[in-house]
Each structure stands twice: as C-alpha cells, then as structure tokens.
Amino acid sequence: MATEREIISYLAIILLGLILAQHLNVVVSGSMEPVFYRGDVVIIEKTNFMGFSEMDAEDLKIGDIIIYDATWFAEPVIHRIVGIKQGSDGKKYYITKGDNNSNADPALVSGAQVKAKVITIGNHPLVIPKIGYITLLIRGL
C-alpha cells in the first residue's frame, strides 16, 4: 500500500504534468518555417491560465510570435506580429504573418483573439522538434 508521502509525490507529478502540458502548443502547418516546422511543439505563456494572466496582449510588440484564434482558419494560428495599428475604437490591432508566407494574414488580430505568446530566448523561440506529430495524427490534422 502506498504511503502518504508516495501519494503526495504522485499527485505533485500529475499536477506538474498538467501545468506543463498547458504550456505546450503543437505546430499544425509549415507557415513559420524555418523557425519551426509542422509537428514541432512550441513553449508558450498564456494570456489566461487558470484565471492568472501570464502575459498581457497589450504588451506585445513587432517580432513577437503569438497564437491567436483566427476568423479565417479553424485551428489557432501561430504567426509573427509584423505590424501594429490603432483602431478607431482606441484598441491595438496586430498585423500577423507566417515567416514562410508571402503575404500578411487576411485579417487584423485583436488583443482578445490572442491566446498566448511563444517564449523566446534572445530571438530564438523555445521549440521541441517533431514530438507533436502524434497529436496531429490523433486529431486527423
């Protein structure tokens, strides 16, 4: 029979796994190549994680790589901010583009659409290569 200490250790491992899993995102397309590729996993900080704000969409700047809910694509999009516009409503809107795409995305991105920012060290995003392929296969993507 497991001791109280073992049970607490197992629960801590499960909790840590759940928290870490919430900070990983699988890349579903090649639009950001060669920065990262389809099937790679990027490490992110979220705008809202269990009620806590890890990053504020208002603090984003040109060059940041974000994950947002697009109006034109079914899956969340991971693209780089290439421009910022001030809307007539006084809010910031982001112009985004995949590094491997020739044109910017078809619609501006509001702060409310931004779900996360890819964590970088210097100008290099934190990427775990190829381990997301299993998720893509399971989801049929």
How far is the C-alpha of 133 from the C-alpha of 20, rounded, in Å? 18
Position 104 scores a pLDDT of 98
Domain ranges of the chain: 24-139
pLDDT level of residue 24 (50, 70, 90 thresholds): confident
Q: How buried is 97 (Cβ within 10 angstroms: 0-12 exposed, 13-18 middle, 19+ buried)?
A: middle
Catalytic residue among 9, 29, 64, 105: 105
Position 7 scores a pLDDT of 76
In whole numbers, what is the pLDDT of the chain averaged over residues?
Answer: 86
Q: Is 79 a catalytic residue?
A: yes
How far is the C-alpha of 65 from the C-alpha of 101, rounded, in Å? 14
Position 23 scores a pLDDT of 77
The arithmetic mean of pLDDT across residues 126-141, rounded, is 84
Query: pTM of the entire structure?
Result: 0.81
> In the chain, pLDDT over 70 holds for what percent of residues?
86
Catalytic residue among 9, 23, 29, 31: 31
Catalytic residue among 56, 79, 89, 102: 79
Q: Is 105 a catalytic residue?
A: yes
Ranges 35-39, 41-45, 127-131, most confident: 35-39
